[in-house]
Amino acid sequence: MPRLVSHPHEVKIVSRRFGKGAANIDRYLELGGYESAWKCLQQGPEWIISEMKASNLRGRGGAGFPTGLKWSFVPKQSAKPKYVLVNGDESEPGTCKDHLIFQHDPHAVIEGTIIAGLAIGAKLGFIYLRGEYRGLLEIMEKAVAEAYARGFLGKNIFKSNTEFQIITHTGAGAYEVGEESALMESLEGKRGIPRIKPPFPAVVGLYGGPTVINNAETIATVPHIIAMGGAAFAAAGSPGNGGTRLFSISGHVERPGVYELPMGYNLKKMIYEVAGGVRGGRSLKAVVPGGSSTPVLLPEEIDIGMDFDQVGKAGSMLGSAGVIVIDDRTCMVEFALRTISFYQHESCGWCIPCREGTDWLKKTLTRFHAGFGEARDIDNILYLAENMMGRTFCPLGDAAAMPMVAFVKKFRWEFEEHLGGRTCPFARHAELAAV
């Protein structure tokens, strides 16, 4: 079972029940569970949405769209049923926070789903977990069964004459399905390829009905916002970036783990204090701040607050808050190759710039890293990546291309070191070997 970590700088809101047996409904109730859903039933949808707007909660999947605003887009009247869809297809390399939520606090996901349903007037919610999370799906399924047995789910929840049901669902291996329209396609029993937008899911979503789609962490945060109040949650974060976030810190640090820190927490402190610094006292070469699709930062660029706006200003993205720390022995050409290999594998093939772009980038980087690169390849990598951006239906094309541009621009000298038939200068020490 994944090890839980702790640090005094943490502000535990979403993770406050981790390690406390809250997967069991009695324990969850002892820890204040389902009180937020009950409060929402009494207060009604307008109040829920105003609290959510006041919280400044922004989507934890990576895009950072304000959750309250997203919920407010769903039309009040709809001929077709409305749905809530929880995105638990956590797959962005460097990201493993939802894993812990499902494991330690499944009822928070259920309760957040109920509240989202009450806010938009849906009677049915889906919780979609990636196929690899079978053990976690079983934990979720047990929790859903308990919630039904206690009357928190069903035709008459909390004896309030309100219906809300939840269906849990397993994927079967596909990163692309984490994109919201592809997620709906997958849940409808199809290949997970994205839909053309507009219409947006809030208007025409799952089975053609208005649908709110939120990341699992976003949904698990909702009951806490209701409990503490939107304004108090907002105050825990930085301007325009409410609350805390689960940061997955991986790579070359002394104490990797998932830490809950306030939005806006300094990245340098996160690495050197919270995660204990670079492993083995080595020096820092680079940091990928928000999952593998976010542009890499140099050591001199990490004295920044970790929220959507500040990381954006530094030329990268907060994304899924997967902080990947890279030490000085790592070959960045190979790191780029590893990164593009993931996106090449996961491209759904629907849009040509993504399908061909990821494939040619992988081929070029494979050859380049093996010592058969030519000087013009370096600019060609840039050319390929820059021409993928903004030319695909879904963000996967950008997700693959953006980091490539940053690797070349910030580590051009390392690419050049691989030229002229020389072997990789890091090969002897690298923990990254050939793909």
Partner 1 sequence: MEWSAGVDAMSDETMTIFSPHLAARLDALAARYPVRRSALVPMLLYAQDEIGYVSQAVIAEVAERIGITELEVRNVASYYSMLHFKPVGRYKVQVCTSISCALRGADELYERFQKELGIGAEDVTTDGIFSLEKVECIGECAWAPAIQVNYDFHEELSPAHVPGILASYRGKSGVGEKTPHA
Residues forming the site for partner 1 (CB under 8 A): 1-3, 81, 90-96, 98-99, 124, 130-135, 167, 169-175, 186-192, 207, 248-252, 256-258, 288, 292, 322, 324, 326, 330, 335, 338-339, 341-342, 345-346, 348, 431-433, 435
Name which of 124 and 384 has its Cβ closer to partner 1. Answer: 124
Name which of 207 and 372 has its Cβ closer to partner 1. Answer: 207
CB atoms within 10 A of CB 372: 12
For 161, residues 6+ apart whose C-beta sits below 8 A from its C-beta are none
Rounded CA-CA distance 174/191 in Å is 10
Q: How far is the CB of 251 from partner 1 (least distance, A)?
A: 5
Name which of 304 and 325 has its Cβ closer to partner 1. Answer: 325
Rounded CA-CA distance 83/344 in Å is 32
- Note the Cα 85 to chain centre separation in Å: 15
Q: Which has the closest alpha carbon to 40: 209, 229, 217, 212?
A: 229
Give the largest CA-CA distance in the chain: 74
Name which of 266 and 330 has its Cβ closer to partner 1. Answer: 330
SS3 track for 84-151: EEEEECCCCCCCCHHHHHHHHCHHHHHHHHHHHHHHHCCCEEEEEECCCCHHHHHHHHHHHHHHHHCC
Q: How far is the CB of 55 from partner 1 (least distance, A)?
A: 26
Name which of 171 and 397 has its Cβ closer to partner 1. Answer: 171
Name which of 191 and 422 has its Cβ closer to partner 1. Answer: 191
- Look up residue 88 and give its two tokens: 């638990």
For 302, residues 6+ apart whose C-beta sits below 8 A from its C-beta are 267, 268, 271, 284, 287, 289
Check if the beta carbon of residue 136 is closer than 8 Å to that of residue 103.
yes
Name which of 95 and 241 has its Cβ closer to partner 1. Answer: 95
CB atoms within 10 A of CB 229: 13
Q: How far is the CB of 116 from partner 1 (least distance, A)?
A: 18
Q: How far is the CB of 117 from partner 1 (least distance, A)?
A: 15
Which class for 276: exposed (0-12), middle (13-18), buried (19 or more C-beta within 10 A)?
middle
Q: How far is the CB of 138 from partner 1 (least distance, A)?
A: 9
CA dihedral 169, 110, 135, 274 (to 10 degrees): 130
Q: How far is the CB of 432 from partner 1 (least distance, A)?
A: 5
Q: How far is the CB of 345 from partner 1 (least distance, A)?
A: 5
- Look up residue 295 and give its two tokens: 């542009």
Name which of 5 and 232 has its Cβ closer to partner 1. Answer: 5
Q: How far is the CB of 4 from partner 1 (least distance, A)?
A: 10
Rounded CA-CA distance 74/60 in Å is 19
Q: How far is the CB of 192 from partner 1 (least distance, A)?
A: 6
Q: How far is the CB of 202 from partner 1 (least distance, A)?
A: 18
Check if the beta carbon of residue 296 is closer than 8 Å to that of residue 407.
yes
Distances (CA, A) of 310 to 116, 244, 267, 318: 29, 15, 11, 9
Name which of 90 and 146 has its Cβ closer to partner 1. Answer: 90
